[in-house]
Every structure is written in structure tokens, then in C-alpha cells.
Amino acid sequence: MDMFIKILFLVIFFGVMIGVGIYCRKQATDVNGFVLGNRSVGPWLTAFAFGTSYFSAVIFVGYAGQFGWRFGLASTWIGLGNAFIGSLLAWNILGRRTRVMTQHIDSATMPDFFAKRYNSNALKIASAVIIFLFLIPYTASLYNGLSRLFEMAFHIPYAYCVIAMAVLTGVYVVLGGYMATAINDFIQGIIMLFGIVAVIAAVLNINGGLQATIGLLSQESVEVANGIEFKGAFASFFGPDIWGLIGVVILTSLGTWGLPQMVQKFYAIKSEKSISTGTIVSTIFAIIVAGGCYFLGGFGRLFGEMGADGKPVGGYDSVIPKMLENLSPVLIGIVVILVLSASMSTLSSLVLTSSSVLTMDFIDPVFFKKKAMEEKKKVLCMRVFIVFFIAISAVIAIVQANSPVLFISQMMGVSWGALAGAFLAPFMYGLYMKKVSKTAVWVNFVLGIGISGASFVCNLAGVKFDNAVLEYFKSPINAGMLAMILGIVITPIITFIAPAKDMDRVEKIFACYDKKITVSYKQAISGDEVTEEPTVETKAENTASKKADNKTNSKKRK
């Protein structure tokens, strides 16, 4: 009976996801429909698509397990940072400008934005390659987190879980494209909201409620600097390692500003109302889901067994599954659907982003220089690459499961650090600063890949540094933070030294922000008499009308 309940949840969930893919297939016949949903996605779908792409099994299993173990309840700050920096500020600073400029220059992907904003096809091709390469380990980490929970709940071998998830996600993304992804994200987001609240309540109830559980956690101690023992560190406000905590907050919050699969959600926004509503909804979603995941992870030490090295037995990725394994069958079923929802929503976004980037920004410009690919061929090519991308990341996930070095958060840190370090500054400044040059963009690409790559190699080789600063930035999380901050600081300096020279072209691009529009009194009111400034189109119509009147009067005088 217990297994029947779990399987029933899965069958219903899988049926709905595939049904949405079939329903949306008619809207995915051309590139604009397949990649952006014809730029007609409403506020709630956009907000949930942003939130569900943000949070996945990597957060619930990998990050919540590792950082909850390291920082205790202070890890909740990571979730709050995700909400207010990664969601609220991202929507306010990037949302509107991204939507306006990308439509003005007819850009559907981040590499295409770099090409048209900075007038460089080389930037397009380089960024497409970076995205394709570094989204693969990110995707593999999604399989990893989900499959560990499947093993716990269904006792199914890891490899079979990975294959099942890959096939299901591939079916509905290939069929329905972005619109199927957005609708499924909304459904999956609702599941995540209710699921995380139910799971937190159930876990806290194991030890007698919130107060009793915090009391138990306060008995845990840790050794900090100079051999001082900090009792109650894991129940304290900032935890035992405030600098490590800050690094995680910055990478996981500010990093979303430079991730192509996140930024692309702004391309598809339908209207101004979608921006204002989406900002509020995505922020609340992040507070509940991200804040809840990290809060739950903060109690990990009460359920996991600590090894001689101070880490949990079985690794960080085992903390959350152990916390949940004694829940009721119904709650375990909810957990599985919750994490499945989180993982599939992010996975669908990643594979759609990667396939569209590879097709439109690498295959088309490199192999079809003389004559661009037809719309139908582009969509077919994207579908083929979706299958390829899912397959190769699944293989990596299966191989990585037996690796003693790379756990989920480490793979995630390398991907986020490289992508956000390379793209955040040139994308953000490209929306606001006219004089940013392609030189500054290339420097960011080198910094992002170089710093994250060096961190990855050092960790893989087991390098130990005597210098505390170097040891701190050896972590993929802190290395990614460094790459982003350096990009934000260095880009204006390079712009001052070597500004862009084609300012006439740039002025035409930025003219999209100055275009005047008139609104009805539903959108704006005034106590005084309103004198509306005519739009560009209205001015043109008035000019044409005056010329026609002048010709008519001239004929009458004759």
C-alpha cells in the first residue's frame, strides 16, 4: 500500500507533464514560439518559471545539506539572499531593460545579445561554447540530487532514476518548447510551495516541534579559530563561519544575474504588468522555497552522523535523504514530487537554453554563413540538441555518482561561477552603459572561466595552500564570487580606459529606452490638464498629415 501511494503520485505527475507538452506543441513551430513562447508569457507563468528554474534538487539536496551542515540555522540567510538579491533586485534592475532592448535588437539568446550589443560575432560563438560546456555539469548535478531521493523512497538503482528523469523531461520540452516549460513550471511551483511547508512541519515534529528542535541543535558545538569551542554555533544568528556564509550568499544570489537560463525569462515577458506582478510573485516564491530549504537543512546535524573528518558519513548529499527517510509514505511521496518538480523545471530550462544557444549562436553562424537556416530546420536542430544535451549530462551524472571528489554543490559552484563570472558584468552594464566595449567583455570571459577553472583543477588535484586567502578562494563557491565581483569592478575601469568607438550604432540601440508611449488614464492620472507628448509614430503621422494638407491647399490656391 505504501509503495502504491508513491507510485500513484508519480503516475499522475508524469501524465500532467506530458499532457502539457502535447497541448503546447502547436505553439512551438517556429524559433520565436519554441524559444520564447512568442514573447507572450504572462506575469504568473514568468514569475514561476524564474523561481522554479532558480531552485532545484541542487538546492534541496546538495546546497541545503552541505550548507545546513556547515552553517546551521544561519544558512537561512542564503535563502533570503536568493529572494531579495537573486529575485527582487534582479527583476527591478534587469527585467524591464532586458525585455525592451532584446526586443529592439531582435535577440532571443544571451550570445545573440552580446553579438548585437557589442557588434561581434566572435563574442556570440565564444559565449555559446561557454554556455554549452558549463551547463553540462550543472545539469548532471540535478540528476544526482533527485536520484538519491528516488533511491531512498523506491529503492531503485541510481542509473535507472537518471534515465527516467531524462526521458520524461526530454519528451515535454521537445514537444512544447518554452510554453510547455512555462506552464509545467507553474504547476511544479505550486507543488514546491505546499510541499516545502509540509515537509518542514513534519521534520520539526520528529523532535517535538520548532523550539525543542532548536534546543537540541544549540547543544552542538564546533571548534573555531585559536582552538576556541563555540557551543550553540549552529543555532546562532550568523553561524560558525560568517565569511564562508557571505561567499555562498553572493554566488547563489548575485549569480543569477548572469545565468543565461535565468535572464532569458525576461526576454519572454508579455507586458509592463507582467514585470510588476512577476517581481512580487517571484520574490515571495523564493522566500518560501529557498528560505524553507535552507532552514530545513540547518537541522541536518541532528539527523546525520559525523565522521572523523567532521563531515557527514555518506557525504553532504546524504544529509537531507537521511532526514526524510523516516517520514510517512504520503510525506515521502510529497517530497519526491517536490524535488522532482524542482529538478525537472530547472532541467527543462537548462536544456532549452543550451540547445537554442548551440543552434542559433554556433551551428547557424559557423556552418551556414552564406544562407541562414530555415525556421523549421532550426527548431528541428534544437530538438535534436535537447536530446543530445540530456543524454550527455545523464551519462556524466551516472559516472559522477561514484566519484569521491565531486559532490553536488561542488559541480554547481563550478558552473555558476564560470557562467556568472563571465556574463554578469557585460550583460548588466550592456543594458545601462553605452561605452562598454567588446574588450571589456572578453576580459570578463577570461576571468570567469580562468578563476573557476583554476579552482576546479586545484580541488580535483587536492592542492592545499598555506596562504589563508588562497585556500579561501580555492572553494568553487568563493572562486565564483571572486570572478563576479572582479567583473563588476573591472568593467567600468576598462570602459574608461578603452571605451567603445562605434557610438552612433550604440546610440541607435539605446534609443529604445527613449521611445515615447502614451497611456490611458487606467495606467496614469493627473489632477491637472494632461498634455501628452506624441509618440514617434504619432509624430510621423502628424508630419505626413501636414504635408498632405499643404499639397491640398496649394492645389486649391492654384
Q: If residue 231 lies in a helix (H) or strand (E), which one and from where to where?
A: strand 229-231
Residue 547 belongs to what domain range? 517-557
- Interacting residues of 436 by C-beta distance below 8 A, sequence separation 6+: 118, 426, 429, 430, 491, 495, 499, 500
Q: What is the mean pLDDT of residues 513-531?
A: 57
Domain shared by 8 and 151, yes or no: yes
What are the φ and ψ backbone dihedral angles of 406, each rounded to 5 degrees?
A: -90, 100
Q: At which of 402, 418, 440 does a domain end?
A: 402
**Average per-residue pLDDT in the chain?**
78
Query: Predicted confidence band at 505 (pLDDT cuts at 50, 70, 90)?
Result: very high
Name the residue with cell 494638407.
Answer: 549
The radius of gyration of the chain's CA atoms, rounded to the nearest angstrom, is: 25
Classify residue 451: in a domain, yes or no. Answer: no
Yes or no: say if 490 and 82 are a contact pair by the CB < 8 Å rule. no
Q: How far apart are CA 38 and CA 4, in angstroms?
A: 41
Handedness of CA 265, 270, 272, 276 (dihedral sign): negative
pLDDT band per the 50, 70, 90 thresholds, residue 465 = confident
Per residue in 392-415, pLDDT (tens digit) is 877 877 776 665 545 555 666 788
Q: Can you give the pLDDT at residue 517?
A: 66
Give the type of residue at 163: I
254 lies in the same domain as 113: yes
- Does the pLDDT value for residue 495 go beyond 50? yes
In angstroms, the CA 231 to CA 250 distance is 27
Same domain, 393 and 525: no
For residue 243, give the CATH number of its domain: 1.20.1730.10
For residues 482 and 534, which has the higher predicted lDDT (pLDDT)? 482
For the chain, what is the domain count? Answer: 2
In a domain, 212, yes or no: yes
Candidates 278, 22, 49; CA nearest to 182 is 49
Single out the residue of 260, 250, 285 nearest to residue 134, CA to CA.
Answer: 260
Residue 72's φ and ψ, nearest 5 degrees, are 70, -145
Give pLDDT tens digits for 351-392: 777 777 777 777 777 666 666 667 778 788 888 888 888 888
- Per-residue pLDDT tens for 147-160? 666 666 667 777 77
Whether 536 is covered by a domain: the verdict is yes
Rounded Cα gap, residues 244 and 275, in angstroms: 33
- Is 125 part of a structural domain of the chain? yes
pLDDT in tens, 64-88: 888 888 888 999 999 999 999 999 9
Q: Rounded to 5 degrees, what are φ and ψ at 221?
A: -125, 160
Q: What is the C-alpha end-to-end distance of the chain, expressed in Å? A: 97
Q: Is residue 448 part of a domain?
A: no
* Residue 479 covered by a domain: no
**Quick check: 118 pLDDT over 70?**
yes
pLDDT tens string 253-266: 888 898 888 888 88
Residue 357 placed within a domain: yes
Last residue of a domain, one of 354, 380, 402: 402
Q: What is the pLDDT of residues 483-492, one digit of tens each?
A: 999 999 999 9
Given 380, 402, 424, the domain boundary residue is 402
pLDDT greater at residue 39 or residue 427? 427
Say how far apart CA 500 and CA 464 lie, in whole Å.
Answer: 42
Query: What pLDDT is attached to residue 545?
Result: 47
Using CA atoms, how far apart are residues 110 and 102, in angstroms rounded to an integer?
Answer: 9
Percent of the chain with pLDDT over 70: 81
What one-character DSSP code corresponds to residue 208?
A: T
Average pLDDT of the segment spanning 277-304: 88
* pLDDT, average across residues 428-452: 92
Q: Compute the distance between CA of residue 373 and CA of residue 136 in angstroms, rounded to an integer.
A: 25
Q: CA 426, CA 421: separation in Å to the nearest integer?
A: 10
pLDDT score at 332: 76
Q: What pLDDT does 477 receive?
A: 79
Whether 130 maps to a domain, the answer reads: yes
Q: Cα angle at 6 between 206 and 194, to 5 degrees? A: 60
Q: Which helix (H) or strand (E) holds 407?
A: none
How do 221-223 and 229-231 pair as beta strands?
antiparallel
Is the per-residue pLDDT at 448 higher than 50? yes
Share of the chain above pLDDT 90, in %: 14
**Selected residue with higher pLDDT from 189 and 31:** 189
Tens of pLDDT, residue by residue over 218-251, are 887 776 656 666 677 888 888 888 888 888 888 8
